[in-house]
Amino acid sequence: MLFEPPIFAVAVLLLSATSAVQSGEPHAEFAKLHKELTTAKEPWQAIPWHVSLLEARAQAAKENKPVYMLCRAGHPLGCV
Amino acid sequence: MPVAVDQHIHRHKKDAEGELFAKVLKQANRGLDGYSQGVYLFTPDGKLLAFANTADAAGVRRLTQIALKKFEPNAAPIKLDDAKVAPVLPPPPEGGLVLDVTSKVLGGYDKTDKRIAHHINSLGRDHLWLRKDEADALAQGMLLDTVKQRLVRYHLIDNTRGEPPMWRVDEIKKLDLMLKAGKLAGSVHLETKTGERGYQAELLGTVETKDGKVTRLDLVAKGDYWGEGTFSRGAPKGRFPFAVAFSLADGDCATSKVPPQGARGNLKAYLK
């Protein structure tokens, strides 16, 4: 329930269908857009990334695994 | 063991973290003063197993297979210094807020152009940091000017194709954002002096508080963007619809620990 129309908009709805539509549409559209963008998940987000090479290396040594380093201009978890 | 680094941050580190970074890069014939983007696989003692500058899934799979063939899981364990590792990234302001910021170009790309197909659904992700005094003010129903300025200068940017230029103070042509009875509403007009890059958008949102703390902050900016930056080439021609969404971050998530892109190299100026 994002961007619920304010109470006054509900009152306007009772008085004028036209103006109520004008008040409500942007809220509904923005709420939908907010949900789309903030709930969009990508596979890389499920990876348990480290941000320190030394910490990753220590954990890799404990688990007997190699280190996988992703290096970008701009932080890869930023993410641009 | 996955680790993600920003070359700009790591190439300036003079400690053990920086030494390991430099050691790995050198084996891939990369220096600290040049282009070092890519995927590097190496052993815990720093021996490079494989490297390629690829973001392609098939390429990464091939690279991983090459590295695993060379890796000896039964090799003698290495002895590591147990000294406490210094934080690589600066922490967010104590008592402040961290917001997830997600941006998207909503249309305008030439869908027949295969070279830019990967841009069409691309999301830009960043974080907005607020100081404690700014968070406290928000909890009391006040939106400080410093928050408005930071939000538009560093976060209403098209970061969906790479590192974009931020807005300068004198590029804010209009900034009208109000918080009233828990509702955020306003509009913004950002434009460079030459007019070659700009963003005109409406903003709508909600702030909720409980026991003097902000418990919800949802905000969306939507409008027309135009232009691109040196490192964010390939924008749609002319004006195109562009949106940015903000919401409180999950503090336990590793990705939320990454500082704002606009704070890189100058956190003090970002938080001013």
d(CA A61, CA B73): 10
The reported pLDDT for the residue numbered B121 is 86
The more confident residue out of A78 and A55 is A55
The reported pLDDT for the residue numbered B163 is 86
B 42-71 near A (Cβ less than 8 A): 42-44, 46, 49, 64, 67-68, 71
The reported pLDDT for the residue numbered A8 is 41
The reported pLDDT for the residue numbered B93 is 94
Strand B172-180, strand B123-130: pairing: unpaired
Chain A: give the shortest CA distance to residue B132, in Å.
22
Average pLDDT over chain A reads 75
Q: How do the domains of chain B map onto residue ranges?
A: 7-70, 97-271
Contacts of A28 (CB under 8 A, 6+ apart): A3
d(CA B153, CA B263): 11
The reported pLDDT for the residue numbered B228 is 93
The reported pLDDT for the residue numbered B184 is 96
Contacts of B142 (CB under 8 A, 6+ apart): B179
Chain A positions in Cβ-Cβ contact with residue B1 (cut-off 8 Å): 50, 56-57, 59-60, 63, 65-68
The reported pLDDT for the residue numbered B75 is 77
* Contact: A67, B44; criterion CB under 8 Å: yes
The reported pLDDT for the residue numbered B242 is 98
The reported pLDDT for the residue numbered B32 is 82
> Which residues of chain B carry a pLDDT beneath 50?
none
- From the list B2, B38, B36, B1, the residue with the least C-alpha distance to B18 is B36
B126 contacts chain A (CB < 8 A): yes
At A15, is the pLDDT very low, low, confident or very high (cuts 50, 70, 90)? Answer: very low
CB B111 within 8 A of CB B248: no
B117-125 — which CB contacts under 8 Å span 24+ positions? Answer: B119/B160, B119/B161, B119/B234, B122/B160, B122/B161, B123/A37, B123/A40, B123/A42, B123/B160, B124/A79, B124/A80, B124/B157, B124/B158, B124/B159, B124/B160, B125/A77, B125/A78, B125/A79, B125/A80, B125/B100, B125/B101, B125/B159, B125/B255
Residue A21 has pLDDT above 60, yes or no: no
The more confident residue out of A52 and A10 is A52
Q: Which helix (H) or strand (E) holds A10?
A: helix A7-15
The pair of three-digit structure tokens given for residue B86, joined into one six-digit string: 């210094």
Category of B173 on φ-ψ map: left (φ > 0), alpha (ψ -120 to 50) or beta: alpha
B178 contacts chain A (CB < 8 A): no
The tens digit of pLDDT for each residue in B74-127 reads: 777 777 776 677 888 999 999 999 999 999 999 999 888 877 788 888 999 999
pTM score, whole prediction? 0.84
- Nearest neighbour of B3 by CB, restricted to A40, A67, A74: A67
C-beta neighbour count of B92 within 10 angstroms? 22
CB B216 within 8 A of CB B207: yes
CB B177 within 8 A of CB B170: no
d(CA B204, CA B179): 10
